[in-house]
Amino acid sequence: MKVLVCDSISPRAVERMRKACLEVDVQDKITPEELLQVIGNYDAMVVRSRTKVRKPVIDAAKKLKVVVRGGVGVDNIDVDYAQAKGVKIMNTPGASTHSVAELTIAYLFALARPIVQATASMREGQWEKAKFEGIEIQGKVLGIIGMGRIGLAVANRAAALGMIVLGYDSRTVGPAPFMQMVELDELIAKADFISLHIPLTESSHHLINAEMIGKMKDKVRIVDCARGGVIDEEALYEAIRAGKVAGAALDVFENEPLSDRKLFELPQVIGSPHIGASTHEATSRIGDEVADILIAVNQEGCS
């Protein structure tokens, strides 16, 4: 089986696949145009968040049997169209849980204590001690929208830090001793911090919009380490300028790579280029799970 690795995974995973007699080509900087030219030669492809697997790619992939997404979400893949063409879509949902949860907690601290802004000020030679007064997260209400693996991991960590954790999910979620499940309206009204951990779907697109922000507490702080597009970025921009939202930490954006940097003109906004799963440990786990999947799919074995 010929495998095209379009985004970076661990070298160990690539070596494991090759030892299992898979023919693996690593082209982790392949452009969309190059992908269309070569994908017809492959039985399987590995992607993370960078590579988009849309209808033109699927149509060009005449031999394709499986796409493995190294990570949680599959919104960069036209899943229904691929499956209609007989292409399996698989992912590694548990591999990056801890990394994304830890980044979320880091952002909670960075929104409470403006360490990013203070560092930038000091690099400019300033000593603006009075300017950077923060707040404690101890005793604050954290509202988590989306209680899958990552949401639960964030809730567990936040509760250990003394936060009051409220969770919302459209699905039924089992009881957890460190948090309380509530309806979305209640969560929005009570939360001092809101963290998003939901996939991008038709119903979740711009879930956090001007109307929803208007129902939030004044000086709320928002973290999105889930998917770009679940926040209306224009509405967020206006809410921060108006003082309704005290700060936002964003790892994901509606259009990636980020082209419109208007949000980052605001000092209350901090962010990163979709690095939630970018730790050494997560990369290793993702690679191992990708290798396990493709080795299992390859029924022929070594000839």
Query: 227 an active-site residue?
Result: yes
Q: Which two tokens stand for residue 193?
A: 């911090």
Structure confidence at residue 176 as a pLDDT band (50, 70, 90): confident
Q: Answer for the pair 107, 266: CB distance below 8 angstroms, yes or no.
A: no
Please say if the pLDDT value at position 172 is more than 90.
no
pLDDT score of 300: 54
Candidate list 157, 197, 221, 274, residue with the active-site label: 274
Give the total residue count for the chain: 303
Please name the residue ranges forming H helices in the chain. Answer: 11-19, 32-38, 55-60, 79-84, 97-112, 115-123, 149-160, 184-190, 210-214, 233-242, 280-297
Q: Cα 106 vs. chain centroid, distance in angstroms?
A: 15
Candidate list 186, 238, 254, 256, residue with the active-site label: 256
Cis peptide before 257 (omega within 30 of 0): yes
- The CATH 3.40.50.720 domain(s) of the chain lie at 2-92+280-297, 97-271
Query: 241 an active-site residue?
Result: no
Report the alpha-carbon distance of residue 143 to residue 196 in Å, rounded: 9
Candidate list 48, 197, 221, 227, residue with the active-site label: 227
Name which of 256, 278, 202, 266 is nearest 234 in CA terms.
Answer: 266
CATH class of 97-271: alpha beta
Please say if the pLDDT value at position 301 is more than 50.
no
Q: Which residue has the tokens 């992908």?
A: 35
| Domain topology for 2-92+280-297 | Rossmann fold (3.40.50)
Query: 113 an active-site residue?
Result: no
Span 220-266, pLDDT tens digits:
999 999 999 999 999 999 999 999 999 999 999 999 999 999 999 99
